A = this chain, B = another copy of it.
Amino acid sequence: MDAKTQALFEARAKIVKAMAHPTRLFIVDQLAGEQEKCVRELTELIGSDMSTVSKHLATLRSAGIVQDEKRGSQVYYRLRVPCVLNFFQCVESVIRSNIELQQQFVG
């Protein structure tokens, strides 16, 4: 794999890695349904420390998946690229396919 190809796939991996955590997927899912949410709202939904949520959001932001906007003392986050929802559809179809495979062994 030459350096250029390497760089290309590292760039792609950065985006995918930013989604590779249950909490961050949950955040994306929430933002997909609700347009925007502030850190406190997300923190309440998730149930972990606000500092943890803030760092997850920073990860998503640095990958370009979400964008933030400060309004008053709150910071609102929203999805920057709607197609990330396709991720979910595909992930779900992998999961379904896995279940079907397992049922073949059972049946």
Pick from B64, B91, B97: contact of A16, CB under 8 Å? B91
**Per DSSP, are chain A's interface residues mostly helix, strand or loop, or mixed?**
helix
A15: CB under 8 A from chain B? yes
User: What are 25 A-B contacts with C-beta separation under 8 Å?
Assistant: A1-B46, A1-B47, A9-B25, A9-B26, A9-B29, A10-B22, A12-B22, A12-B25, A12-B88, A12-B92, A13-B22, A15-B95, A16-B19, A19-B20, A20-B20, A63-B94, A65-B94, A80-B94, A81-B90, A81-B93, A81-B94, A84-B94, A86-B87, A86-B90, A87-B87
Pick from B20, B93, B98: contact of A13, CB under 8 Å? B20
As a 0/1 sequence over residues 75 to 107 of chain A, the CB contacts with chain B under 8 angstroms (1 = contact) are: 000001101101111111111011001000000
- Taking a contact as CB atoms under 8 Å apart, the answer to whether A83 and B88 are in contact is no
Query: Can you name the residue of chain B whose Cβ is closest to the Cβ of A16?
Result: B20
Give the interface size bracket for A toward B.
35 or more
